Amino acid sequence: MKFSRPDTLFILGRMRNKLFLGLMLLAFISATGQPKKSVFMITDAEGVAGICRQDQTDPKDPELRQLLTGEINAAVEGFLAGGADEVVVWDAHDGSQTLSALTIHPKAKLLIGELGVTMTMERQYVGLAFVGQHSLAGVRAGIMAHSYSSLGIQNMRMNGKPVGEIATRAALAGWYNTPVILLTGDEAAARELLEIVPDAEVAAVKEGLGRYTCISMSAPAARELIRERAQRAMQKIGKIKPYKIDGPVTIEYEYTTRNSLPIDANQRTGAEVVNDRTIRYRGKDFMEAWIRSQVR
């Protein structure tokens, strides 16, 4: 084909515009640090289908490992089908000793070990997912409900409201503009997330009748539900709002009778001893309060 000179110039001009747009997009991607759609997954034991007794949550229990891995892999499959490029799975239950690279989804990445205060959220994931999650301490019929430590912490409060792993980690992710997109667990945990992130996807795989009594879905049915919800969650990226706590924040720990205040409670930065079992950390914003509250 032969172009007259003005046509050629026009086409070259358009090509240059496209090139320019392409370069702008690349610059945007590197500036925002989001070259790929990466999902971060927090795994736990108490919210897995088929797990209702405390003895089943032993991280070395072979059945727990199989049941949890099956749910994780179903979620990974759903995320990948929904357009995720990467899923980072954190083995977050009891000392990071439940999952194995041998059985995790071949396309997932396994994160083993303890994490610092940011939980790697500065990596700018497109979404946060909870798999096998339980509800916060004290919830009636919440299966093995607790807030971080059932032996050590009676209650935890953020700005005076009882919270557990779901709300505090959602707020941490929200600080980095990452929304919680999926939660799998018992009905109580699903309700807890929907209260703060109403647009998130949830897969409630069992109903609690009491702390150690539940009616659970079968493993295959739970996996099918989780896969479907994970795919749907991925397709809702951009429509689910990050959970953000504005203004000054207080984070409070009320310890159990088996535990006690830290010895240096009175000397801690931004901390106030509320009573013999309770300490309250204050910050000008969520992150300051969170960092102060994480001192061990």
Applying CB under 5 A, the site for Zn ion has a residue count of: 1
Q: Give the residue from 127, 90, 134 showing the smallest Cα distance to 110.
A: 90
Position closest to Zn ion via CB? 44
Which stretches of 145-248 are DSSP H helices? 165-175, 187-196, 219-235
Only segment of 36-44, 74-82, 237-245, 281-289 that touches Zn ion (CB under 5 A)? 36-44
Chain centroid offset of residue 108 CA: 16
Q: How far is the CB of 133 from Zn ion (least distance, A)?
A: 7
Binding mask 119-158 for Zn ion (x = CB under 5 A): ----------------------------------------
**Nearest distance from C-beta of residue 48 to Zn ion, angstroms:** 11
Closer residue to Zn ion (CB): 165 or 201? 165
> Which string of DSSP letters, residue by residue, matches 114-156?
---TTTTGGG--SEEEEEEE---TT-TT-TT--SS-TTTEEEE
186 forms beta bridges with 206
Residue 110 parent element (H or E): strand 109-111
44 or 186: CB nearest Zn ion: 44
Q: Among 220, 227, 160, 163, which Cα is nearest to 195's?
A: 163
The neighbouring-strand residues paired with 127 are: 39
Distances (CA, A) of 20 to 8, 23, 34: 18, 5, 20
Closest distance of CB 100 from Zn ion, Å? 20
Q: Confirm or reject binding of residue 186 to Zn ion (CB under 5 A).
A: no
- The binding track of 49-68 with respect to Zn ion, each residue x by CB under 5 A or -, is --------------------
Q: Which is nearer to Zn ion, 126 or 251 (CB)?
A: 251
Q: Which one, 44 or 254, has the nearer CB to Zn ion?
A: 44
Q: Supply the minimum distance, in Å, between the C-beta of residue 53 and Zn ion.
A: 16
Task: Say whether residue 91 binds Zn ion (CB under 5 A).
Answer: no
Minimum CB distance to Zn ion, residue 280 (Å): 22
Query: How many Cα atoms sit within 13 Å of 219 on the Cβ side?
Result: 13
Q: Are strands 213-216 and 249-255 parallel, antiparallel or unpaired?
A: unpaired
Alpha helices in 114-218 (DSSP H): 165-175, 187-196
- The piece of 40-48, 55-63, 114-122, 171-179 that touches Zn ion (CB under 5 A) is 40-48
Closest distance to Zn ion from the beta carbon of 145 (Å): 10
44 binds Zn ion (CB under 5 A): yes
Hey, what amino acid is at 178? T
What is the nearest approach in angstroms of Zn ion to the Cβ of residue 136?
A: 10
Tell me how far apart the 2 most distant CA atoms of the chain are, in Å.
88
Residue 42 CB, shortest distance to Zn ion, in Å, is 9
Question: Of 92 and 197, which CB lies nearer to Zn ion in the complex structure?
Answer: 92
Q: How many angstroms from the chain centroid is the CA of residue 295?
A: 21
- Contact segment (CB under 5 A) with Zn ion among 39-47, 70-78, 112-120, 169-177 equals 39-47
- Contact in structure between 151 and 259 (CB atoms under 8 Å): yes
With H, G, I as helix, E, B as strand and everything else as coil, classify residue 102: coil
Residues near Zn ion (CB under 5 A) are 44
